Chains A and B, each alone.
Chain A
Amino acid sequence: MYTESTSTNVWIVLAAYNEEKQIGNVLREVKKYARNIVVVDDGSSDKTVEIASNENIEVLKHAVNLGKGAAVKTGCDFAIERGAKYIVLMDSDGQHNALDIPQFLNEVMNNDIVFGWRKQPKNMPVLLRFGNWFLTTSVAVLYGMKLKDTQCGYRALTKEAYGKVRWSSTGYSMESEMIARAGKHKLSYSEVGTDTIYLDKYKGTGPIDGVKIFINMLIWRLGWF
C-alpha cells in the first residue's frame, strides 16, 4: 500500500518539449502527490525550463531534442541514481491526471509494471481508434500481453523492472519497446484506467509512427534487440 512513508522512494519522471503553457500547472498538481519529481527538458526552445525550475523540483536539460524515449530514459536513470524504488512516468502536456498517481503506486507495489489506459471518448477519430486497436491486437499476438492501450505514456514501474525494460528507442516507440521487453522478461503487470484531458494540440503517435512501431515490434519479437 502506498503511504507517506513510502513516498521517499517514489520518483515522478516527466519529459517535456515546448510545454511552457502546461508544465507549471502539471507540476503543481503532481507535487500534491509526490515529493520527488524530475523534469527532463528535451531541447525546448520556449520557457519550459524556466517555468519548471521555479517549481523547486529537479530539472535536467537535453542540449538538443532527442525524442521522448531518450528524455524519459535520462529521467529514469537520474531517479535510480537518487535511490528510486518506484518510478511513475507521465506526460507533461497535462493530459494525465495527477489524481491517479496513488492508484498507480498502489498497483506497482504488487506488480513489476503498471500500464495506464486512456478511457476513450466516443468522438475519437476513426483512424486513431483503428490504430489503437491494431497495435493492441499486435501486442496480444506477438507478446501475449492483453493490454487495453499500448500507447498511453502514463505508467509506473519498479527499479528492478526498469533494469529489464530499459529501452533503446529514442522516440515514441519507447512505449512499445517497454511492452516488448516486459513480455520477453515475463514481468507481472496490471492496468489503471485514466481520464485523458486533451488541453493542447495532439503531439503523440501519428499514422507513420504507428507503422514504425508495428515494424519495430516485429523486429523485437524476432529477438533483434
Chain B
Amino acid sequence: MTDKTLSEEELVALIGAYGADPEAWPEATRAAAGAALALPSPAVSEALAEARALDALLADLPEFRPPAGLAKRILADAPSPPRAAGGVWRRLKERALPGGQLWPAGAALASLVMGLLIGLNLPATSAGEADEDAEAAIYAALGVDTFGVSLDEELLR
C-alpha cells in the first residue's frame, strides 16, 4: 500500500492491521493517512473506535522483564579475548632477552665459555689443586670473586 491516496477500504484494512495510530502504520502510508482520516466515513470511524479501545488495552499490558542474572549468564558464554601466543617460551625469552636484545645473554655465555677454557688449560699439580683450579675457573666464568672468598675462609679458620 504505497499509493498517495488511500481508499476507505484500504484505510479500514490499515486500521485493522496496525491500529488507530498512523505512527504505527507503514511509513509509505503515513503521509496519505491524515487526509484520508479527515474524510467523513462511518466505516472508518467505527474501525478507529474499535482499534483505539484495543490499542489502549495493549498499551497497558505489563512488559515482561528479563530475570536478574540473565545478562551475566549470557556474558559468561561470550568469547574471551585471545591469549598471547607463545606462553611459557615467550616469557622465558623475554627474561633472557630483555627488549629483544641479544647482548646480555651473549655476554654471559661468552664469559662462561672463556672461563671454562682457561680453567681446563691450567696445569694440574695435584688432585686437590686440580679440583680447586677447576672450581676457580667456573667461579671466574660466573663472575664470582674466589680470591675474596678464600680470604674470608682463611680468616674464619
Say whether A associates with B.
no
